[in-house]
Amino acid sequence: MTEDSQRNFRSVYYEKVGFRGVEEKKSLEILLKDDRLDIEKLCTFSQRFPLPSMYRALVWKVLLGILPPHHESHAKVMTYRREQYSDVLHALNVIRFVSDATPQVEVYLRMYQLESGKLPRSSSYPLEPEDEAFLAIAKAMEEMVEDTVDCYWIIRCFVNQLNTKYQDSLPQLPKAFEQYLNLEDSRLLTHLKMCSAVSRLPYEIWFKRCFAGCLPESSLQRVWDKVVSGSCKILVFVAVEILLTFKIKVMALNSAEKITKFLENVTQAFYAITF
């Protein structure tokens, strides 16, 4: 039996007995042992399989450019990252923009604003929509990443990716959502149009916040694996799946307001996404 056939046999066996993902984990561990991590292969793996939780932060840091591909540089680079984190935090404390009582997610926001040149003149200024999106993502990320320095850098680079790499793609997602929903269930899309609900769906939550605060952590991590590794289109597929899952309820609602409110609330209980 060849090595490939043995691997295929083991994969089928593990899946049948309830150990799906064992082979995938081994494959990832092999990739992570390379002296120079192969970014393309890590992206491909993240697109195809959910990352094991024990390796997720490391892979995200590499794919987001927080860590370089070379293993030998990781410790030194993270030392620099921690020093920069401390310097920015110290500056915010000096100008009294944050204190020990400031919620951690707000600290992350102020740090990001300071580093990007968008810190308002006063902490009492109302938050912009982009700030609200940042806070939602930060709150979700805080549940996934224990280390505060790692958490800040991942949030920072994740948001930067949305604002740069996906800057042109994100505004197109509502249109793509409509196209895919039409392919999956044209009757459901027709109902949404008759209720004038298509333009009023919670796109801000779905696409600009990447479902932060809407999906349970286990599902959100899998979605963000895809976003981090280069695909924001996964957000469209998740949105379509939500509509299909709650089709009966949505079809029973007869106004845009009711449909939007229902979808904003119902995603809190949406635990059945599989990729």
> Would you say 243 and 188 are in contact if contact means Cβ atoms under 8 Å apart?
yes
Q: Which amino acid is at 197?
A: A
Only one residue has tokens 């920015």, namely 88
> Would you say 221 and 230 are in contact if contact means Cβ atoms under 8 Å apart?
no
Half-sphere exposure of 109 (CA within 13 A, CB side): 22
Instruction: Tell me the chain's radius of gyration from C-alpha atoms.
Output: 21
Q: What is the pLDDT of residue 23?
A: 75
Distances (CA, A) of 197 to 26, 44, 193, 211: 46, 36, 6, 19
CA 169 to chain CA mean position, Å: 15
Contacts of 46 (CB under 8 A, 6+ apart): 59, 63, 225, 226, 228, 229
Q: Give the pLDDT confidence of 115-155 residue by residue, as tens digits.
A: 999 999 998 899 999 999 999 999 999 999 999 999 999 99
> Would you say 173 and 236 are in contact if contact means Cβ atoms under 8 Å apart?
yes
* Separation between Cα atoms, residue 195 and residue 257, nearest integer Å: 9
What b/e string do you get for 256-275 counting C-beta neighbours within 10 Å, with b at 16 or more?
beebbebbeeebeebeebee
Helix/strand/coil for 87: helix
Per-residue pLDDT of the chain (275 residues; tens, 9 = 90+): 444 444 444 444 444 434 455 578 889 999 999 999 999 999 999 999 999 999 999 999 999 999 999 999 999 999 999 999 999 999 999 999 999 999 999 999 999 999 999 999 998 899 999 999 999 999 999 999 999 999 999 999 999 999 999 999 999 999 999 999 999 999 999 999 999 999 999 999 999 999 998 888 888 999 999 999 999 999 999 999 999 999 999 999 999 999 999 998 875 555 444 44
Q: Give the pLDDT confidence of 29-44 residue by residue, as tens digits.
A: 999 999 999 999 999 9
Q: What is the pLDDT of residue 72?
A: 94
Q: Which amino acid is at 238?
A: V
Q: What is the pLDDT of residue 21?
A: 54
Longest dimension (CA), the chain: 69
Q: What is the pLDDT of residue 216?
A: 86
* Separation between Cα atoms, residue 146 and residue 163, nearest integer Å: 25
Distances (CA, A) of 189 to 19, 24, 249: 38, 37, 14
* Separation between Cα atoms, residue 231 and residue 131, nearest integer Å: 23
What b/e string do you get for 112-139 counting C-beta neighbours within 10 Å, with b at 16 or more?
bbbeeeebeeeeeeeeeeebebbbbbbb
Set out the domains of the chain in order of their start, with CATH numbers: 18-164 (1.10.8.680), 170-270 (1.10.472.80)
Q: What is the pLDDT of residue 41?
A: 96
Two tokens at 263?
A: 């979808």
Q: What is the pLDDT of residue 269?
A: 53
Q: What is the pLDDT of residue 265?
A: 81
